[in-house]
Amino acid sequence: MPGIFDRLNKEIKDSQRQEGISPLDIAQLPPAMRKIMRLMLREVQAPYALICETMEKVAEQERLSRSALDDALAALTEQGWLIQIGAGEKALYKVNLRRKEGSALMSGIWSSLDTKLKKDSSDKS
Q: Residue 35's pLDDT is what?
A: 83
95-117 pLDDT, tens digit per residue, is 887 654 444 555 566 777 778 77
User: Rounded distance, CA 111 to CA 71, Å?
Assistant: 50
Q: How would residue 15 be classed by pLDDT, with cut points 50, 70 and 90? A: low
- Statement: residue 16 has pLDDT above 70: no
% of the chain beyond a pLDDT of 90 = 15
| pTM metric for this prediction | 0.58
Using alpha carbons, select from 28, 26, 31 the residue that is nearest to residue 68.
31
61-76 pLDDT, tens digit per residue, is 878 889 999 999 998 8
Helix (H, G, I), strand (E, B) or coil at 95: strand
Over range 4-19, report the average pLDDT.
62
Which residue segments constitute the domains of the chain, with CATH numbers given? 4-100 (1.10.10.10)
Q: CA 40, 58, 73, 41: dihedral to nearest 10 degrees?
A: -10
Q: Which amino acid is at 103?
A: S
